[in-house]
């Protein structure tokens, strides 16, 4: 009780309240613009990969590169945040994503001018892979932003604060996959090659997001924590030692292990199916408009209901909410497997898949660090995001061969094989987890 009262006292100080509001306002603005800028990746980026590589193998690598980039960037971002604060980490990631979008414009141009030789094709493919990986830095920044929203949040409202930042990206994330339409107009006006216009728009928006964070995320929320809560000071030491400490903390805390399992599996299931949906739809004769609409509805499911999910998780419990989300993932897989030849069924499956991802990710993200020692939180968050994206990258790469062998229905069915054991693991870990201690 003494600890709880002390936490409440510093969280209620005027400077902290003001910093909390400014942090949330900045993250909200950045998330909207950044989601819009990165939104072309799952739709137009997949089609660009098919156009540039003309190879299912390399197209699969390119499609997975965004997830691989996010996995590679997540842990360094956590380290950078732990050492220098959220502002530097997030701004750097958004600027890297802007550079990735520029590379995609160059890749499209190189492919259009290619003379068909192996060297020319190799250059355009390399630029494509690097550009898609650069977009992954934006994904990593968006994921870390949800944690940044909880740095100064009251413990009882962490899921809601996290959900707010997830939710505000809805408009940008839903419109983003349709950037191919205004992008085509830019291509006609400027002579840019097909699919380059969407990423030209994205480059501007992602760079603007970096500027917003760099200028407005002051004071840095982690620096405010260090000033107002002495026990939250981060110990000095080499990043390797801090990383080992974060891994030890995950092993020590059952709720962190439970959350990590749930986050990884939900992300793998979502990315694997979403990655191949544009290809599946194009094989059925649909163009960029239907593909963009389908991905937009999927993204709508991922983000639009986040505030409701956060409120439910804070009220009824984070673990029960995670289990409900896993059930929705199973429903989405079943609809996709049974209705694989129906465009309407595929659209419904993608929408439910997005909702299921949200109902798992929002409460599991809040659960991840609620019982973790405060100095380890940024790195634990980085480990989680890196693990999520690394596993999802494997799923994205494997999704092409799986669909080639088993079809879209088989790919959807494989997600069942992932989610069911994860649900069992959550129940086992839940039974071993002690009652949560006081949150700081």
Nearest to 146 by CA among 299, 23, 46: 23
pLDDT of residue 205: 94
Residues near 163 by Cβ (< 8 Å), separated by ≥ 6? 306, 307, 309, 310, 311, 313, 362
User: How much of the chain, in percent, has pLDDT values that exceed 70?
Assistant: 87
Q: Pull the structure tokens for residue 151.
A: 């740095």
187: cis peptide before it, omega within 30°?
no
H-helix or E-strand spanning residue 74: helix 56-84
Nearest to 359 by CA among 256, 426, 262, 255: 262
Helix ranges (DSSP H) in 113-233? 118-148, 158-168, 170-175, 180-190, 196-216, 221-228
The secondary structure of residue 435, as a DSSP letter, is: P
| Identity of the highest mean pLDDT range in 4-18, 47-61, 172-186 | 172-186
97 pLDDT above the threshold of 90: yes
pLDDT of residue 240: 43
Better pLDDT: 95 or 181: 95
What pLDDT band is residue 57 in, cutting at 50, 70 and 90?
Answer: low
Give the whole-angstrom CA distance, residue 330 versus residue 360: 12
CATH 2.30.30.30 for domain 2-432, yes or no, is no
58 pLDDT above the threshold of 80: no
User: How large is the average pLDDT for residues 28-39?
Assistant: 90
Q: Looking at 155-164, 284-293, 322-331, which range is the least confident one?
A: 284-293
Tracing tokens 């989405």 back to the chain, one arrives at 332
Tracing tokens 């080992």 back to the chain, one arrives at 244
Q: Pull the structure tokens for residue 39.
A: 């939104």
Q: Pull the structure tokens for residue 422.
A: 């994860």
What pLDDT band is residue 436 in, cutting at 50, 70 and 90?
Answer: very low
Burial group, residue 9, by CB count within 10 angstroms (0-12, 13-18, 19+): exposed
User: How large is the average pLDDT for residues 267-294?
Assistant: 79
pLDDT of residue 288: 67
pLDDT of residue 4: 41
- Domain boundaries, given as residue ranges, for the chain: 2-432
What pLDDT band is residue 226 in, cutting at 50, 70 and 90?
Answer: confident
User: How large is the average pLDDT for residues 221-246?
Assistant: 63
The secondary structure of residue 413, as a DSSP letter, is: H
Tracing tokens 């599946």 back to the chain, one arrives at 280
User: How much of the chain, in percent, has pLDDT values that exceed 90?
Assistant: 30
Per DSSP (E only), the strands in 224-273 are none
User: How large is the average pLDDT for residues 177-206?
Assistant: 87
Chain-centre distance for alpha carbon 391: 13
CA distances from 185 to 43, 196, 247 (A): 17, 11, 49
Nearest to 332 by CA among 319, 342, 345: 345
- Where residue 161 falls (left for φ over 0; alpha for ψ -120 to 50; beta otherwise) is alpha
The secondary structure of residue 359, as a DSSP letter, is: H
Nearest to 204 by CA among 101, 292, 133: 101
pLDDT of residue 9: 60
Question: Would you tell me the crossing angle of helices 318-338 and 377-432 to the nearest 10 degrees?
Answer: 80
pLDDT of residue 115: 60
107 — phi, psi (to 5°)?
A: -60, -45
User: How large is the average pLDDT for residues 109-129?
Assistant: 77
Better pLDDT: 54 or 33: 33
């Amino acid at each position: 009780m003494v600890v709880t009262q002390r936490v409440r006292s510093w969280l209620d100080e005027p400077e902290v309240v003001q910093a909390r509001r400014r942090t949330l306002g900045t993250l909200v603005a950045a998330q909207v613009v950044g989601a819009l800028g990165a939104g072309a990746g799952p739709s137009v980026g997949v089609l660009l990969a098919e156009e540039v590589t003309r190879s299912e193998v390399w197209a699969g690598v390119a499609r997975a590169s965004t997830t691989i980039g996010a996995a590679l960037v997540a842990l360094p971002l956590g380290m950078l945040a732990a050492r220098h604060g959220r502002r530097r980490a997030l701004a750097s990631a958004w600027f890297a994503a802007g550079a990735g979008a520029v590379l995609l414009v160059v890749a499209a141009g190189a492919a259009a001018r290619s003379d068909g030789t192996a060297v020319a094709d190799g250059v355009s493919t390399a630029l494509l892979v690097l550009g898609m990986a650069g977009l992954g830095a934006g994904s990593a920044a968006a994921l870390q932003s949800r944690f940044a929203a909880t740095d100064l949040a009251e413990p009882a409202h962490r899921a809601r604060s996290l959900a707010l930042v997830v939710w505000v990206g809805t408009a940008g994330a839903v419109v983003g996959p349709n950037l191919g339409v205004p992008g085509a107009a830019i291509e006609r006006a400027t002579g840019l090659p097909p699919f380059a216009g969407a990423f030209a728009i994205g480059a501007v928006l992602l760079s603007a997001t970096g500027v917003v964070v760099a200028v407005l995320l002051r004071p840095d929320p982690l620096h405010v924590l260090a000033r107002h809560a002495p026990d939250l000071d981060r110990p000095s030491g080499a990043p390797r030692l801090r990383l080992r400490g974060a891994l030890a903390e995950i092993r020590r805390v059952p709720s962190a292990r439970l959350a990590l399992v749930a986050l990884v599996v939900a992300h793998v299931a979502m990315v694997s199916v979403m990655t191949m949906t544009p290809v599946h739809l194009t094989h059925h004769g649909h163009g960029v408009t239907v593909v963009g609409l389908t991905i937009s509805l999927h993204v709508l499911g991922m983000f639009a209901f986040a505030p409701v999910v956060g409120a439910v998780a804070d009220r009824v419990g984070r673990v029960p909410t995670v289990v409900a989300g896993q059930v929705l993932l199973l429903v989405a897989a079943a609809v996709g497997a049974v209705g694989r030849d129906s465009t309407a069924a595929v659209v419904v499956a993608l929408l439910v898949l997005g909702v299921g991802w949200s109902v798992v990710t929002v409460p599991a993200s809040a659960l991840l660090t609620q019982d973790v020692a405060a100095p380890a939180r940024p790195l634990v968050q980085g480990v989680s995001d890196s693990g999520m994206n690394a596993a999802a990258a494997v799923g994205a790469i494997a999704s092409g061969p799986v669909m080639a062998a088993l079809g879209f229905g088989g790919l959807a069915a494989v997600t069942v094989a992932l989610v069911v054991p994860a649900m069992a693991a959550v129940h086992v870990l839940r039974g071993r987890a002690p009652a949560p201690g006081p949150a700081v």
